[in-house]
Amino acid sequence: MHRTTINLSESVFQQARIKALREDVTVSEVVRDLLARWVAGEIDLATRASTRDKLAALARDAQGMWADRDPDIYLAASRARLKERDQELTDARLDA
């Protein structure tokens, strides 16, 4: 049997541990069973939105910096402005 480490939030792990104790199984048994079912195609994760998409949606819905703009578009435009500024600085040094 292969041993591995997974990262979980403390609260999810504690909730899983409590539920596993109530159902007289271990968290490891649950993880093994769920992974086996996923590999067998019994569990479909393809229809879920990606974590990045979920976070972007939460950021857009939140009141604050990202509420009125798409973070990816904003960051791409910001990077483009930085590249333009760097090019202006390079050109100014060459002219000096």
- Looking at residue 45, its pLDDT comes to 77
Residue 2 confidence (pLDDT): 87
Plot region of 28 (φ>0 → left; ψ -120 to 50 → alpha; else → beta): alpha
Nearest to 69 by CA among 60, 80, 61: 60
Looking at residue 57, the DSSP 8-state letter turns out to be: H
Low-confidence stretches of the chain (pLDDT < 50) are none
pTM: 0.49
**Helix boundaries (H) for the chain:** 10-22, 27-39, 51-61, 71-95
